[in-house]
Homo-oligomer: A and B are copies of this chain.
Amino acid sequence: MAFSSVVFKALADPSRREILERLRAGDLNAGELAEGLPMTRASVSHHLNLLKQAGLVRVRRQGQNQVYTLDTTVFQEAMQWLMTFFQKESGPVPRNRRG
């Protein structure tokens, strides 16, 4: 699927945005992320998987836990896509303006 679709689809769900916002304060494991969300751990796990596929989070094992971290690079790419809409003319987006 095209870059933007996975990312924007991932961002389109309130539970997933909630997860991302919690991760802003620091890494959390799956159990911690599931707490407070009105759904089962299995469902949270599903959302985490979508976020991972979108490249918005990374995961590493730490003992029994799966620890999730924000990965901000994709946020940047999404921002860049949005930013093109402030330039009136369409066409390839200039990345730098030497010469």
Tell me the residues in window 62-99 of chain A with beta carbons closer than 8 Å to chain B beta carbons: 70, 72, 75, 78-79, 82-90
State whether the Cβ of A42 lies closer than 8 Å to any Cβ in chain B: no
State whether the Cβ of A39 lies closer than 8 Å to any Cβ in chain B: no
Count residues of chain A with CB under 8 A from any CB of chain B. Answer: 30
Bound state CA distance, A8 and B87, in angstroms?
20
State whether the Cβ of A32 lies closer than 8 Å to any Cβ in chain B: no
Bound state CA distance, A83 and B72, in angstroms?
10
With contact pairs A8-B12, A11-B4, A11-B8 given, residues A24 and B85 touching in the complex (Cβ less than 8 Å): yes
Identify the A interface with B (CB < 8 A): 2, 4-5, 8-9, 11-14, 17, 20-22, 24-26, 70, 72, 75, 78-79, 82-90
